[in-house]
Structure 1
Amino acid sequence: MRTESEEGRLSELAPITPLDADEEPPRRRMPFAWFWPLLVGAAAALVLRIAFSGGPGHPFSAMLGAFVYLAPAVCGAVTVYMAERIERRSWGYYLWAPWVSTALFVIGTLLVFIEGMICAVVIVPLFAVMGSVGGLAMGLVCRVTNWPRPALYSFAMLPLVLGAIEPHLPNPDQFSTTSRTLFIAAPAERVWHELNNARDIRPAEVDDAWAYRIGVPLPLAGVTEETPEGRVRKVLWQKNVHFEEVITEWQPGRLLKWRYRFAPDSFPAGALDDHVMIGGQYFDLRDSAFTLTPKDGGTELRVEVAWRVSTRFNWYADRVAGFLLGDGAEHILRFYKARSEGTVAVAAQ
């Protein structure tokens, strides 16, 4: 057994240093402390999304620039602010953490069914960028000022203030076109027939286009019919989507051009996201045309598509529309190529 004198000598060898009066004892971290700032940032943005549930053209619409730019920025700012309350973070954290929180925010909108898959997919890149902008701004505020909380509250209120004002300002219109060309080893007469008589379209013939991968209903048929007003191409998609393409130029074997016509029931509820409704306030297909040029051994088929976007972020929306419509045009050409060449092969047997 140790004697009292031995224990005293041991205590002298390893003395216990008391805490300074001004020094705080180390705080015990909560479980998963690294995750809480990301979750709180996503929750703050989700609250803003619920607040921005107004219809097209009304205050607090989710298509307003006040929401699209500022909601992810608030998400990033809240994320960084909550993380800074735990410990000082790096500039790299201010950049990447908002990416995660905005992704969680988008997933949350899908889980509570206030956002559709199409909008969620196409908006993620812009949200990630704006989230980083908000995170970097809040990180700077936390480092150089003593008022991060008032700054955060002011920042969070900004989208709500602008969301009430912005609908009173007209949206700018931007008109664009895209075109694609493909050679088809079939005569122009055969290609022309397929253009005007596309029936029983199978998913495997078109479903690898990006627009269909993210939720746009697949086409089922596109057939030209004679009507009292002239030739009309009637189109049917899945989910009971239907609309008409009123033919404005008709040169058999050479040119087929139409303008789109949508009825109030062309897009049943749930068929498309409300924000990307074709023919709506923010997006519209204007016209399309197929041009056939006979070539040695077949036909060169060219498709041109024109559209309109009307948002506060046309620079982004137009590029997304151009990508999806251009990719869709390529797959439509491949569809008609397969149909036309397959028919010719069967006829030759």
Structure 2
Amino acid sequence: MKTLIAITLAAVYGLITRLMFGFLDNSSQIMSVTFLFVVPLLIGFLTVLLIPTEKTTSGTAAFFKPWLTSLGLLFITLLLKVEGIICWVLLFPLFATVAGIGGLIAYHYKKSSADPAEGSDGPDWPKPNTLNVSLLFMLPVALGSLEGERAWTPEEITIQEQLTIDAPVAAVWQVLAKKHAVSQQSRPPLSSSLLGFPRHISTTLDTLAVGGKRISYYEKGLHFQEKIVRLEKERLLVFSVNTAPGQFPPTVMDEHVLIGGKHLDILDDTYQFQTLADGSTRVTLSSRFYINTPFNWYARIWANYLMSDILQGELYSVRARAMDAKRPVAFSPLHSASKRTETL
């Protein structure tokens, strides 16, 4: 029971800190070193600090019990709609690991402070007074206000995927030239969709020429406006991507991973076509985008994974439509008789 109370109190502390950062989002950013390193460190420290000494007898327990606090915070913020599922999925491994480190620090400090005469199960950590608690609450917000956007580092990334399609390049090219195309994916559900990224529904194109406009529609009202900026028939097709997050419904994606937001934006997509010796076509789809966080080394891992998944889904859709166009239309006597009647 005492362990549960300790975990609950530490999770409540995390929630209050998150809400304080939300209210002060112009100066204390959620996507900051302070919130994603200092806050979980303090949550883990507070968890083990409040748990009775005899309930945490090893470093392993001290490391993983703060993970329970992090899970509790996850469920509370999802329930209150403070955070979105995709944001937590991306950040939880880092957040929980840092919380575990905070737990280890508290465990070793308690162990070194125990009275040797009373053994390893000596007295619990002294209960913090009101001043200590106040400082604990205010420290992350003060540091976050000082940090602001100073630690953000814009970084441009290009990722590409390839797929061989058993169809001539002219047929594949015509798939992208269609005025209206419904997405078809002859593959299992995308991992990005399982994480909450809306599925691609359809695409419209006004004209296949430089300056032509394409709109890609996704679930939940998400859509991207694209413009052809370079075209070499059956060889190269480049789209610039316009992502204006203000036009998206607020329920589409979490604000901290919103495409076109402060931390992530897609710049352009490039299709390249190569005819292989057997007559099939190799299609290379690359996407150039940027990330802007204080921990790009971590954000890059997830960005590469998700963007690669999205590009693969688009390539599979192109292949499915090209193979459908390649199949001969089944002969229908009724259809044929109808045509003859119309001719007469």
- Asked if TM exceeds 0.5, the reply is yes
1:130 correspondence with 2:92: no
Partner of 1:250 in structure 2?
A: 231
Q: What amino acid sits opposite 1:107 in the alignment?
A: F
Partner of 1:52 in structure 2?
A: 21
Partner of 1:19 in structure 2?
A: none
- 2-structure distance, mates of 1:262, 1:33: 49
1:73 correspondence with 2:41: yes
Partner of 1:36 in structure 2?
A: 5
- 1-structure distance, mates of 2:156, 2:72: 33
Q: Show the 5 A alignment for 1:84-233.
A: 84=52, 87-145=55-113, 149=128, 156-167=137-148, 169=150, 171-197=152-178, 199-201=181-183, 208-226=189-207, 230-233=211-214
1:261 correspondence with 2:242: yes
- 2-structure distance, mates of 1:74, 1:170: 20
- 1-structure distance, mates of 2:189, 2:40: 30
Q: Secondary structure at the match of 1:173?
A: strand
Q: Secondary structure at the match of 1:114?
A: coil
| 8 Å Cα contact 1:176-1:307 kept in structure 2 | yes
- 2-structure distance, mates of 1:72, 1:248: 45
Q: Secondary structure at the match of 1:35?
A: helix
Cα deviation, residue 179, structure 1: 0.9
Identify if the C-alpha distance between structure 1 residues 222 and 51 changes in structure 2 by more than 3 Å, giving closer, same or farther: same
Q: What amino acid sits opposite 1:237 in the alignment?
A: Y
| 8 Å Cα contact 1:65-1:311 kept in structure 2 | no
Q: Compare 236-245 and 151-160 and name the one that shifted more.
A: 151-160
| 8 Å Cα contact 1:256-1:289 kept in structure 2 | yes
Q: Is there any run of 5+ residues in structure 2 with no aligned partner, and where?
A: 115-124, 332-344
| 8 Å Cα contact 1:84-1:142 kept in structure 2 | no
Identify if the C-alpha distance between structure 1 residues 94 and 154 changes in structure 2 by more than 3 Å, giving closer, same or farther: farther
Cα deviation, residue 86, structure 1: 6.0
- 2-structure distance, mates of 1:185, 1:229: 28
RMSD: 2.6
Q: What amino acid sits opposite 2:64 in the alignment?
A: W
Cα deviation, residue 250, structure 1: 0.8
**Structure showing greater Rg:** 1
Provide, for residues 74-93 of structure 1, a one-character-per-residue CA deviation record: whole Å limited to 9, x for no partner: 22111111113565531111
| 8 Å Cα contact 2:165-2:283 kept in structure 1 | yes
Q: Secondary structure at the match of 1:259?
A: strand
- 1-structure distance, mates of 2:226, 2:237: 11
Cα deviation, residue 305, structure 1: 1.2
1:280 correspondence with 2:261: yes
Cα deviation, residue 71, structure 1: 2.1
Partner of 2:272 in structure 1?
A: 291
Q: What amino acid sits opposite 2:284 in the alignment?
A: R
Provide, for residues 220-255 of structure 1, a one-character-per-residue CA deviation record: whole Å limited to 9, x for no partner: 222222399821211111222222112111112111
Q: Secondary structure at the match of 2:2?
A: coil
Partner of 1:343 in structure 2?
A: 325
| 8 Å Cα contact 2:285-2:311 kept in structure 1 | yes
Identify if the C-alpha distance between structure 1 residues 330 and 55 changes in structure 2 by more than 3 Å, giving closer, same or farther: farther
- 2-structure distance, mates of 1:132, 1:145: 20
Q: What amino acid sits opposite 2:224 in the alignment?
A: F
Q: Secondary structure at the match of 1:199?
A: strand
- 1-structure distance, mates of 2:187, 2:213: 23
Seq. identity, %: 27
| 8 Å Cα contact 1:196-1:233 kept in structure 2 | no
- 2-structure distance, mates of 1:280, 1:206: 30
- 2-structure distance, mates of 1:218, 1:152: 45
| 8 Å Cα contact 2:222-2:249 kept in structure 1 | yes
Q: Is there any run of 5+ residues in structure 1 with no aligned partner, and where?
A: 1-31
The TM-score normalised by the length of structure 2 is 0.84
Identify if the C-alpha distance between structure 1 residues 326 and 285 changes in structure 2 by more than 3 Å, giving closer, same or farther: same
Identify if the C-alpha distance between structure 1 residues 218 and 165 changes in structure 2 by more than 3 Å, giving closer, same or farther: same
The TM-score normalised by the length of structure 1 is 0.82
Partner of 1:310 in structure 2?
A: 292
What is the number of equivalent residue pairs in this alignment? 316
Partner of 1:327 in structure 2?
A: 309
- 1-structure distance, mates of 2:219, 2:143: 38
Cα deviation, residue 112, structure 1: 0.7
Q: Secondary structure at the match of 1:230?
A: coil
Q: What amino acid sits opposite 1:345 in the alignment?
A: R
Partner of 1:270 in structure 2?
A: 251
Q: Compare 212-221 and 317-326 and name the one that shifted more.
A: 212-221
Q: What amino acid sits opposite 1:42 in the alignment?
A: A
Identify if the C-alpha distance between structure 1 residues 317 and 182 changes in structure 2 by more than 3 Å, giving closer, same or farther: same
